[in-house]
Structure formats: structure tokens, C-alpha cells
Chains A and B, each alone.
Chain A
């Protein structure tokens, strides 16, 4: 067994050892977001009348809003703050001594968490199909396209997060920056309302930015709304952003470590 697989399995074991967190996190996070969207859009549909808004039926919108927290959990992986906390409390030091890359270890932790959330994503979908009998079926082709997209989107999110968290080398607190990042990716990525509700110019602009790659793009892939050309372009854009952020991350890491004091004198 190699070191990457060992780390991945260890992280998986750690996560699974918290059974209550597995179920409560799933129910609390997903159902609360879905519940708010359900009652809000039910009222909007009742007030406006008609079968659909911007091409979305009520059932279609509900499916979208179920997928937003499920997909976001897979893409986001670990809770935020894990890198900055290790910089602040000095526990980063132990990783600097191991002959293995710190970010490789952290990414494997992210992947392990994402794996657990992926299981929850399919559980959530199965639940939705059983309750709503929605006009949606998961095709093998859509699934085959979604899994690499989730992997790349997760990688992008991880790299952006790590970039922001490394500001902890200089700033006393980076929590608000991380919250802003999550809020921006949720809002501008189509998590709060689908991108179809944005004006045309904003949709064009957002399509080039990294946020949509982390929310709406994987959802649309899963729903089978993405063709071959768009899939390849989307993956390419995701990897391009990931590469750009990886470059800035490498710079921040080198500079940051020069000033790192490992807490205490």
C-alpha cells in the first residue's frame, strides 16, 4: 500500500468513526437548505402561477436545490479552517518534518471527506426520487461525466481554499476571508439561485470565472444538461483555474514558511 492510499484510508476511518456527524451533518445541512428553497419557491410559484419559471418547473427547481448542498459538500470536502488553524497553533510543524508533501496529505483528507459526501449525494438523490417521483433519471453517461467534474471541481475548490488559508501566515484571522469565499462561490456559482435567473451578460462573465465550476457545472453535468464540447471546455477551464491558483499557492507557501515561527520562541 502506498502512502497516498494509506492517508486516504486513515482519513476515511477518522470520518466514519463519527457516526452521528455522518447522519446529522447530512440531514441538518441538506434538509435545512432544501426546506428553505421548497417553501420559498412554492410561494413564488403560487403567486406567479404557470408551470415554469425561466425554464424550471417546480419539481426541476426542487431537484436543483437538493443537488446544490449535496454537490457543494462533495466539492468543498473538509470544513474550512484546517490549514489556517494548523498555522496558528503550530501543528503545521509536524507535517514539515514528515518526508511527504503537506498539501498532498491535506488533499487526501479532502478526498476522503468528499467520498463520504458523494455517498450522501446518491442517498439524497434516491430519497428525492422516492418521495417526489420527479421526471429525472440518472444516466450512466451523465454519471461518467459528473465524477471527473466533481474531482476537478473539488481540486479547484481545495486549491483556492488553501490559497486563502495560507494568508494566516500574515493575517491574525482568516476566518472571514474563508466565509466570503464560500459565500461568493455559493452566490456566483449558482447555489443561491440558478444561473438562468441572472442577466445574460452576467451569465457570460460568470461562465469564465471559477465559481460556476464549483456549483452549477457539476449539477448540470449530473442532470445530463451538458454536451461533449461544453464538458471538455468546462473541465479545461476548471483545470486552468486550478493550475493558476496552484502557482499562486506555491508562491504563498514559499514566502509564508520563511516567516513561520511554529508558535513560541
Chain B
């Protein structure tokens, strides 16, 4: 479905010193800087997979998506999407893909979504009956049937995003690129969009690449995660394996019996078998090294009157953040 090998992209960026003098200087001589956005990326995505592409700002995620969607030419390397070279932009390729950019409206701002969808039907040559059935199903799934005749610019951000999703999926693409699809949305809208994406995957079995800064998107939608740092892939594998392999800590939460406190009374304990993340007087949350989790749990049970004890993996966001920082002490 998607296959990229040694994909590189170098941008040449004009650097201008600040201030009037810098502007005047740049009229006569310009300084250029090369930015290596992709440094030899290999990636394979199969049908039915949702791959989470994660990295800090400027890591190269969007560049990779743009190259695979055929928007930009890479400096070197090869890629195939559905058997096509993306940046040749053959119509056969473009009919099979969709790109949803949460930060950029793709529908026509001045028109009701319904008019935009009709236009997309012509662009993708979707037969009328198929189009109507698809639109009915997509609008019902996202609960926007009553908003189709309202100008896009008069819709809320969440409603606009839902319309963007419908617009992108009306032609039933086999490959879907989702760039920050839930950015700026409230929790209910985020949840609706996630459920919709999973439903689309279940029905259509496309290959999907998702970039998001919301860890909940990654956790709920992706079984596989690709971490990017400075234009390179630093991890490509299952989310669960990443946590078990790279998380150096576990989180222990002890809820104390009603009316009980620790040996120090209601005050925060002076010492504990790990870093105290939270202390409320009735519960204690600790971050401990994985190898010492059992000993720490035993210590808590002996020291406190524990009603309930849980041992959890570290938050996925913390693990990713540490991996992206090259921090071995995650």
C-alpha cells in the first residue's frame, strides 16, 4: 500500500537578519540555510493499518505526509503508494488517496458543505447513487445531516472538521493521510471523530497515517507508532512494545483505607520508595524504576494501610517525550 525507501528532503531556507538593516542587506546579498527535513526515511504501511506518526514540531512528520501524498518532491529516495509514485500525481493515484489537514480548510469557505460535496462527486467521478449513499452514511455517522446546507464559514470548528472528513472520504479512498484531525476540537468532537475513523477503517480497510500531538488520538486509534526526531525514524513498532521496552518507570497508586494516613500523619511523607507524583492524604502516587516496582509495592503495603493498590505503565506521552529528547531516564 505505502512503501518509502531512503526518503530525503532538504529545504533551502532564506535567512534574514532582523531589523531594517537586515532587510536592506537581504536586497543585495542573501544567506541560505539547508534544512534536512527527512534524512533517509523507510516506511511500510499495509491495508487496514493506522500508523501514528509522532514527533516534536519540525521533526519532519508533515514533510513525510506531504511527500507520500504527492504534494512535494523529495530530494532523493523512492516511494510507492498503491503502485504509483506519489509526486508524479497521476489521476489514478489521486483518486485513491485523501489528505485531511486539521489546520487547513479544504472545503470551499463561501459555499454550503453540500455544494462542495457535489463538486467533489464530479471531481472523483463518483456515481450518483454511490455518492448519495456514502454521503447519507457519513453525515449520519458524524451527526451533521442538518448542517449540509449551511455555509462552511458559519459552522463551528468541530462541525467544519466533520465536513472535512466527509469531503475527504466521499470517494472511499484506499489511503488516508490524517494530519492533526482533532486539533482545537473539544473532547466530545475529538471522541466523535476518533470513533468515526475507526468505523471507516473497519468498513473500508484503508491504509492510514495519522499525525497528532494528542496522545489520546494515538492510543485510541493506532496499534503501531512511528516516532520521528530530526527527520529520522527513531522507533517503528507496536505502541504496547514501545511502552514495555522504553518506559523505565512504573506508576504505583495506593489508596489508603478511610480515616487512615501514613506514618507521618496527613503531611506529605518524608521518604518513599520512588518519586512522589501526588499525595492527597488519602492516596499516594509514586514513580518507581520498573525493576523496583515489586519491592516498592511491598514497601507501601507494609508501611500504609492500603485499601487498593495499582501498578500502571507510564503515560505514553511521557515515554514518547523522553524518547524524543534522547533522554535515557524515561
Contacts and interface: CB of A to CB of B under 8 A. Distances in A.
Interface of A: 1-3, 6-7, 10, 13-14, 17, 90-91, 93-94, 96-100, 172, 257-258, 260-262, 264-265
22 contacts: A3-B122, A3-B123, A3-B125, A7-B122, A14-B108, A14-B111, A90-B104, A91-B104, A93-B66, A94-B106, A96-B71, A97-B69, A97-B70, A98-B94, A98-B123, A99-B123, A257-B73, A258-B73, A261-B11, A262-B72, A265-B35, A265-B63
Interface of B: 11, 14, 35, 37, 58, 60, 62-63, 66, 69-73, 89, 91, 94-95, 97-99, 101, 104, 106, 108, 110-111, 115, 118-119, 122-125
4 A-B pairs with the lowest CB-CB distances in the bound complex, closest first? A99-B94, A99-B91, A3-B122, A6-B122
Contacts of A6: 118-119, 122
Nearest to B93: A99
Contact of A265 (B60, B69, B91): B60
B66 A100 contact: no
Given A97-B98, A261-B11, 13 more contacts: A1-B122, A10-B108, A10-B111, A93-B104, A96-B70, A97-B69, A97-B70, A97-B71, A98-B123, A99-B94, A99-B123, A261-B66, A262-B71
Q: Which of A1, A13, A264 has the most CB of B within 10 A?
A: A264
A91 B89 CA distance: 17
B249 to A, nearest CB: 32
Contacts of B95: 99
Contact of B122 (A2, A261, A262): A2
B122 A13 contact: no
A96 B63 contact: no
A7 B116 CA distance: 10
A6 B63 CA distance: 32
Nearest to A1: B122
A96 B66 CA distance: 11
A13 B71 contact: no
Contacts of B122: 1-3, 6-7
A168 to B, nearest CB: 14
Contacts of A97: 69-71, 94, 97-99
Contacts of B60: 265
